[in-house]
Structure 1
């Protein structure tokens, strides 16, 4: 059981028979009456945000989420095909189920799949990925006051982001998938 005193950002709870992730919370102790916890949660199946207030000490069940490694195989007719690395079973997902990992789909790469009650609910990209630059305009150093400017580049998965001026087409970059930021050139 997970009590409201155990809440922290990223904590997963079972609320109304669905898995939720705590995005933000605040313990409130008014001068009069009992303490309570105001939370902002995200439904892990639908992706909808919800704000709820709970009595202090209220308890919730653990959602019993299961994590599995899945390999991305290919994309065909708006379906994305993955293979479970343990059972070799293939699963097809649509664009809506992949919203967070869509910009990072690369064939033969391993992704983390999240299951709730035996049903696949989402796929998450690894924390860091190495991706090839397919389009990088030449950097013009004179456009910056300090010399540490950035330019817009395009990666092999279609992701567009800001990178330093010295990045060229064909470079392999390490990208943080949580923030969509350039980390280093490899």
Structure 2
């Protein structure tokens, strides 16, 4: 059990039977009376945000979450399928749950899946992923208004800005945390 003194940003708690994470935290001690702990919480299943204020002396149940190393297998009509390499158990996650992370998934990629009661509710990708450019407009010489960047689309359907020298079928590295181009990859 957590007490109010344990509250901090990033702490995962069970509230009303669902896991929540503290995304913003503020402590106030008025002149008289109990200390106040103001928290902005995010529901880890639905993604909804809300504010709650707690008084010192309250206790909280830690969220019963499990993080497992899994391998991305494929996408079908039910969602994105991942497999645990130790026991070969499979977990399917919807596109809504993955959000923009789905654009960085490559077959057989190792990822960390956050599970709540056996259901996938979050994913941690490697910091960088290599993807092939499938569509890039040719750069027009003298077109400096764009700052030497142009739009490109990679094999997963993700669109981003790349330098003018990047052409179709080029393998590039993308930072999965920001979604931005990093460098060309030599093959």
- Shorter-normalised TM range: 0.7 to 0.9
Q: Which residue of 2 aligns with 1:24?
A: 24
Q: Is the 8 A contact 1:18 1:43 kept in 2?
A: yes
Secondary structure in 2 aligned to 1:96?
helix
Residues 60-75 of structure 1: pairs in structure 2 closer than 5 A: 60-75=60-75
The gaps in structure 2 that reach 5 residues or longer are: none
Q: Distance in 2 between matches of 1:8 and 1:141?
A: 53
Instruction: State the 1:170 CA deviation.
Output: 2.1
Residues 31-50 of structure 1: pairs in structure 2 closer than 5 A: 31-50=31-50
Q: Which residue of 2 aligns with 1:151?
A: 150
Q: Which residue of 1 aligns with 2:107?
A: 107
TM-score (norm 2): 0.82
Q: Distance in 1 between matches of 2:57 and 2:148?
A: 50
Q: Distance in 2 between matches of 1:141 and 1:5?
A: 61
Instruction: State the 1:66 CA deviation.
Output: 0.9
Q: Distance in 1 between matches of 2:19 and 2:101?
A: 19
Secondary structure in 2 aligned to 1:97?
helix
RMSD: 2.5
Instruction: State the 1:171 CA deviation.
Output: 2.2
Q: Distance in 2 between matches of 1:4 and 1:173?
A: 46
Secondary structure in 1 aligned to 2:45?
coil
Q: Which residue of 2 aligns with 1:133?
A: 133
Q: Is the 8 A contact 2:92 2:120 kept in 1?
A: no
The gaps in structure 1 that reach 5 residues or longer are: none
TM-score (norm 1): 0.83
Instruction: State the 1:44 CA deviation.
Output: 0.9
Sort the Cα spacing of 1:60 and 1:141 in 2 relative to 1 into closer, same or farther, 3 A: farther
Q: Distance in 1 between matches of 2:7 and 2:184?
A: 37
Secondary structure in 1 aligned to 2:165?
coil
Instruction: State the 1:154 CA deviation.
Output: 0.7
| Greater displacement, 24-33 / 153-162 | 24-33
1:108-136 CA distance string (max 9 Å, x none)? 21221111233333333323222221111
Instruction: State the 1:153 CA deviation.
Output: 1.2
Instruction: State the 1:106 CA deviation.
Output: 1.9
Q: Distance in 1 between matches of 2:15 and 2:143?
A: 52
> How many residues of Structure 1 are paired with residues of Structure 2 in the alignment?
185
Q: Which residue of 2 aligns with 1:90?
A: 90
